[in-house]
């Protein structure tokens, strides 16, 4: 049985090549199928891709596997077709669309990496947040004050739990930082002097021409400043279930298919399990997630929480990626995941203390 299926698949592939060899541009279509196979698409996927490419009048079919712009045309055509046909709930359609997004995401992230990556400490931007590790002592928070050709000036590293009067001159330190839309970087250096720069107690540290790039971003995130609701995840409940009542209101800061960030009143804590509910193109989205890190702003008593999402249903993930890649219509006004009465909205003002009925965050 297995040999028969193998030969049947080979025969089908040969038949397709034969059909296209009789048409104009046969070489292009043969390369198209060959490249598609290398990219991980099945013969069935490739036949569907061929129809889309033909309908889009792409002159060089194989170019879609090499060009962001060309592949975007294909994905956008598929998204529009799904919207117009009403086939959003068809599992086969969502699986195929997911494959398109996976490949599109792959070539987009490669392009972003080539464009944004840096190779030495002279390329670090002023204002970049840093984590400074002193072996045997602890981790401190700092930021870049100035970046000169001969040295890097950083604010005096701070750690509220450790002695702030420690001597830094001559210390060997490791510096870690995360560049937005890029990756994490680490390098070792030595403190050459303690100075004041721009009125701030600072350190001069030596440059390093070899940065170690780590923790590359696994997804593309976009800024998305819209309202959302937060809910605690109760044990035993399905975390993907949409809530029908208002939760703690927050403001989204960014989204991706693997997580999001939100701003909320109070001090959030890493490790907390919760779900975020918001709307995209009037479709409610429920994202169960875990808070991985928090930036707390004491002067306003607000937190910027960064979440890692649980694996999402395929249709939900595809819809989020439609927004990430700019394939949803522009919204005229902020949307919430369901209708909220006007008086209830007033009571959920994000800036108002005491706005945490479940006690998720420290006020």
- Structure confidence by residue, pLDDT tens digits, 158-173: 887 776 678 899 999 9
CA 181, CA 222: separation in Å to the nearest integer? 9
User: Which residue segments constitute the domains of the chain, with CATH numbers given?
Assistant: 2-116 (no CATH), 121-210 (2.30.110.10), 222-347 (2.40.10.220)
Least Cα distance to 276 among 341, 227, 219, 223 occurs for 227
Q: What is the mean pLDDT of the chain?
A: 82
pTM > 0.75: yes or no: no
What three-state secondary structure class fits 299?
coil
Cβ atoms of residues 316 and 285 within 8 Å: yes
CA 30, CA 6: separation in Å to the nearest integer? 20
* Residue 5: pLDDT band with limits 50, 70, 90: low
Residues whose CB is less than 8 angstroms from the CB of residue 65 and which lie 6 or more positions away in sequence, other chains included: 35, 36, 38, 39, 71, 103
- Structure confidence by residue, pLDDT tens digits, 178-237: 887 677 889 999 999 988 888 889 999 999 988 887 756 667 888 888 999 999 998 778
* Secondary structure letter of residue 89 according to DSSP: T
């Amino acid at each position: 049985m297995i040999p028969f299926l193998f030969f049947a698949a080979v025969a089908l592939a040969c038949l397709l090549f034969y059909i296209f060899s009789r048409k104009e541009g046969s070489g292009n279509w043969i390369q198209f199928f060959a490249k598609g196979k290398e990219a991980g698409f099945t013969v069935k996927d490739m036949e569907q891709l061929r129809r889309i490419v033909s309908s889009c009048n792409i002159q060089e079919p194989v170019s879609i596997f090499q060009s962001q712009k060309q592949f975007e045309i294909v994905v956008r055509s598929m998204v529009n077709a799904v919207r117009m046909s009403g086939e959003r709930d068809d599992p086969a359609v969502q699986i195929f669309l997911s494959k398109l997004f996976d490949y599109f995401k792959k070539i987009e992230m490669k392009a972003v990496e080539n464009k944004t990556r840096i190779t030495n400490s002279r390329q670090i931007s002023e204002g970049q947040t840093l984590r400074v590790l002193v072996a045997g002592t602890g981790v401190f928070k700092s930021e870049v004050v100035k970046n000169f050709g001969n040295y890097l000036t950083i604010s005096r590293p701070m750690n509220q739990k450790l002695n702030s009067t420690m001597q830094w001159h001559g210390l060997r330190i490791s510096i870690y930082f995360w560049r937005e839309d890029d990756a994490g970087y680490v390098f070792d250096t030595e403190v050459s002097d303690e100075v004041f720069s721009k009125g701030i107690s600072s350190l001069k540290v030596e440059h390093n021409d070899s940065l170690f790039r780590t923790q590359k971003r696994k997804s593309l995130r976009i800024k998305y400043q819209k309202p959302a609701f937060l809910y605690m995840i109760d044990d035993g409940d399905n975390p993907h279930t949409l809530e029908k009542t208002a939760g703690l209101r927050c403001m989204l800061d960014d989204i991706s298919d693997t997580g999001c960030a939100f701003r909320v009143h109070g001090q959030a804590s890493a490790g907390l399990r919760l779900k975020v509910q918001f709307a995209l193109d009037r479709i409610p989205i429920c994202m169960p997630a875990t808070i991985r890190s928090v930036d707390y702003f004491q002067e306003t008593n607000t937190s910027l929480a960064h979440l890692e999402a649980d694996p999402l249903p395929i249709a939900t993930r595809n819809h989020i990626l439609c927004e990430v890649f700019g394939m949803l219509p522009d919204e005229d006004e902020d949307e919430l995941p369901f209708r909220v009465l006007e008086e209830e909205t007033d009571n959920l003002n994000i800036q108002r203390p005491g706005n945490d009925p479940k006690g998720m965050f420290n006020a």
